[in-house]
A and B are shown apart, each in its own frame.
Chain A
Amino acid sequence: MTDFYDLAEKKSVGEIRKLYPISGDFFDNMNLSALAEDVPMADALEKSDPEWLQELGTDTDGVLEQFCEFMEALTSPQEETALIREITIVGGHDKNGMPEKAELTVKPGEVISIVGPTGSGKSRLLGDIECMAQGDTPTGRRIRINGEFPDEETRFELEGRLVAQLSQNMNFVMDLSVRDFLQMHAKSRFCEDPESVAEQCYACANDLAGEAFDISTKVTQLSGGQSRALMIADTAYMSSSPVILIDEIENAGIDRRQAISILTRQDKIVFISTHDPMLALSASKRIVIRNGGIAKVMETTEEERASLSVIEELDDTIMRIRSMLRAGEQIIPGHFAVPAAASSDEA
């Protein structure tokens, strides 16, 4: 590991900025922009007005110490998650204390859907996975990571990094262009080459969105479908979390099947809580929740897979009608039963 004290002794603020662009944030955060740039940083601090540092609630040693802590924390990707080979949900009990007979192991690249009435406890299950419950949540469920129950330390260690979440009421609030936004995220993920990662992510999002958008568009100006597409592409390419919890993907102008496959191709474990038959059946298994508990775990059968293609056709038809409406066309009954090719010349 780099000795940052040594760095501050030998290099000027200007040189440090060049070597570690992230250090610029430290100088900005500390309001140290007035520090002399041409002498070693430690000397520059020594020469600066002590009263000025006092105003910042610190002194020369304090600044150096904080500088080193900052650099150590922000030049190594400490947030990377250990390799997750599998996650197992060990059943607890439902709201009446009836035991769940479930034990389900999921591996990277797998999609599991969670179905059940509103308020039945789908979110609680997602919550149990997120906090790696160890019989200490109201459901009594336990989560195994790579075959083992994580101890307290591992839980604290993994906390907030195991799971990425995607829900339909999520918005962008930052006032940034798509390019700046993606690069900022890449920077926070310690990507070697933020620009190319941002480009890759953008291309994927554009592929996913029904309507193309420019990379210089403000993220807050994207349509619902475009936003969702960008969020999915970003989660797939940039989030380090190995598990993704999705709370329904709305069908507004986005290819849902493609969205899920982008995530699984990046070896994510995907749990999706949904009422959408196409999404539910495209998972290999589905968890049925009733009265706060896992009522059963169903494998998607051959028959269901066969009906999936019918459902997909129905879905395609709806999508086609949508784009026709959007293009200002008249909708006639003949369009409904016709497979995809027939209407393509009209679009």
Chain B
Amino acid sequence: MKLITVSGPPSSGKTSVILKLIDSLRESGMEKIGVVKFDCLTSFDQIRYKEAGIPVEIGFSGKVCPDHFFISNIEDAVRWGVKSGFEMLITESAGLCNRCSPHISEIPAVCVIDNLSGVNTPRKIGPMLKFADYVVITKGDIVSQAEREVFKFNVRQVNTGARILFVNGITGQGSFMLAKHLSRAVDITTLSDMHLRFTTPASVCSYCTGETRIGEEFQNGMMKKMTFTPSVFYKDTEEIEEPAEKGGVEA
């Protein structure tokens, strides 16, 4: 079975791209394709997959970090896929933060981003874009050729080696080439001995375990503090209540 990981910011068109990709794969003779969707709280995409006759499983990370959730379930997903006799299993990860990336060393990694998301967005997305093998740009049909080229250039800046493809999630234009690329993926039966391409975010602080109260006395575990420099309007008065031990502002 071939495994493909697909990630991307919310509403970038991941599900549409995957549906069109599956259409193209089916046209080329691949029939048994399954999808596992990883999301945070809720999702409606499983309906779209079911409508297209695609076997789909869905998992919600809920209170757990989405990236940690993905990595602790991906092996089971692979087992499910192998048992189902899929020729290809596609995982769709939604709700990831820009620090996240579900990409695995030997597994083809796709990142979907859209042309409307702002010219500097590729430079801000981080590992899920930076470590992808294929970057799929969507919604290119509603911006000019110039913006597509500039956007592609900005993607290239962040990921110098990726294949960059434009796919129209509505008409499917471009999905044919994506399918051609991905059908070259190697077959696997297990993920053991494989590695994530990028470390997952550290998450062992009091807030990870359900703390909601605000204040230094409630902050334990892995914490990181920002440094604030005095603004032009900064007043050195004692009116503002400062925490007992440390000063709120380091001069």
A-side interface residues toward B, CB under 8 Å?
Answer: 25-26, 28-29, 57, 69-70, 72-74, 123, 127, 130-131, 136-138, 155-156, 159-160, 164-167, 169-174, 176, 181-182, 184-185, 187-189, 227, 230-231, 234-235, 238-239, 241
Residues of A within 8 A of B220 (CB): none
Most buried by A among B119, B161, B164: B119
Say whether B208 faces chain A, with CB atoms less than 8 Å apart.
no
In the complex, chain B residues whose CB is within 8 Å of the CB of A172 = 143-144, 147
B48 at the interface (CB under 8 A from A): no
| Residue in contact with B199 in the complex, picked from A57, A160, A238, CB distance below 8 Å | A57
Are B176 and A231 neighbours in the complex by a CB distance under 8 Å? no
Q: Are B143 and A234 in contact (CB under 8 A)?
A: no
Given known contacts A73-B160, A138-B27, A156 and B146 CB-to-CB distance under 8 angstroms: no
Which of B34-42, B71-79, B150-158, B235-243 lies on the face that meets chain A? B150-158
Contact residues of B between 143 and 200, Cβ < 8 Å to A: 143-147, 149-150, 152-154, 156-158, 160-161, 163-166, 171, 173-174, 176-177, 180-181, 198-199
Docked-complex contact B141 and A159, CB < 8 angstroms: no
Q: Is the beta-carbon distance between B173 and A130 smaller than 8 angstroms?
A: yes
Residues of A within 8 A of B163 (CB): 156, 159
Q: Which residues of A contact B149 (CB under 8 A)?
A: 185, 188-189, 238-239
Q: Is the CB of B27 within 8 A of A160?
A: no
CA distance A164 to B142 in the complex (A): 13
Minimal Cβ-Cβ distance residue in A for B154:
A188
In the complex, the answer to whether A234 meets B144 with C-beta atoms within 8 Å is yes
- CB within 8 Å of A: which of B104-159? 115-116, 118-119, 123, 127, 141-147, 149-150, 152-154, 156-158
Q: Contact residues of B with A, CB < 8 Å?
A: 27-28, 115-116, 118-119, 123, 127, 141-147, 149-150, 152-154, 156-158, 160-161, 163-166, 171, 173-174, 176-177, 180-181, 198-199
Name B144's contact: one of A138, A155, A189, A231 (CB within 8 Å). Answer: A231
User: With A171-B143, A231-B144 given, is the CB distance from A74 to B173 under 8 Å?
Assistant: no
Q: Which of B116, B144, B152, B176 contacts A137 (CB 8 A)?
A: B176
Interface contact A234-B146, CB-CB below 8 Å: yes
Additional A-B contact list (9), CB under 8 Å, known A57-B198, A171-B144: A74-B157, A155-B177, A165-B141, A172-B143, A172-B144, A173-B116, A187-B153, A188-B153, A230-B144
Q: Can you list 10 A-B contacts with CB-CB less than 8 angstroms, sorted by A residue number?
A: A69-B160, A136-B28, A136-B180, A156-B181, A166-B145, A188-B149, A188-B150, A188-B152, A227-B144, A231-B145
Nearest B-chain residue to A132, judged by Cβ: B177
B160 pairs with A174, CB closer than 8 A: no
CB distance from A326 to the nearest CB of B (A): 25
Residues of A within 8 A of B161 (CB): 69, 73
Instruction: Return B128 CB to nearest CB of chain A, in Å.
Output: 12
**Measured between C-beta atoms, what is the minimum distance from B142 to chain A in Å?**
6
B173 and A127 within 8 A (CB): yes
Residue of B nearest to A57 (CB): B198
Residue of B nearest to A128 (CB): B176
Shortest beta-carbon distance, B130 to chain A, in Å? 9
CA distance A123 to B145 in the complex (A): 17
Closest-by-CB residue of A relative to B224 is A55
Distance in Å: Cβ of B112 to nearest Cβ of chain A:
16
Contacts of B166 in A (CB 8 A): 160
Q: Are B150 and A174 in contact (CB under 8 A)?
A: yes
**Could you tell me the distance between the alpha carbons of A230 and B181 in the complex, rounded to whole angstroms?**
34
**Ranked 5 nearest A-B pairs via Cβ:** A188-B153, A73-B160, A231-B144, A234-B146, A69-B160
Residue of B nearest to A166 (CB): B145
- Docked Cα-Cα span, A171 to B171, in Å, equals 18
**Shortest Cβ gap from A227 to chain B (Å):** 8
- On chain B, the residues within 8 Å of A234 by CB distance are 144-146
Contact partners of A230 in chain B: CB under 8 A = 144
CA distance A127 to B172 in the complex (A): 10
Partner of B173, one of A123, A166, A169, A181: A123
Could you tell me if B177 and A170 are in contact, using CB atoms closer than 8 angstroms?
no
Q: Are A131 and B160 in contact (CB under 8 A)?
A: no
Partner of A238, one of B146, B164, B165, B180: B146
- B133 CB to closest chain A CB, in angstroms? 13
Neighbouring B residues of A176 by C-beta, 8 Å = 119
Interchain CA distance A166-B145 in the complex, whole Å: 7
Bound together, the chains give a CA A337 to CA B248 distance in angstroms of: 80
Q: State the CA gap A69–B153 with chains docked (Å).
A: 14
Instruction: Decide: A171 and B176 in contact? CB cutoff 8 A.
Output: no
A-chain residues with CB within 8 Å of residue B145 when the two chains form the complex: 164-166, 170, 231, 234-235, 239, 241
Find chain B residues with CB under 8 A from A136 CB: 28, 176, 180
Residues of A within 8 A of B157 (CB): 25-26, 29, 70, 74
Q: Are B150 and A184 in contact (CB under 8 A)?
A: yes
Give, as a whole number of angstroms, the nearest-CB distance from A90 to chain B.
17
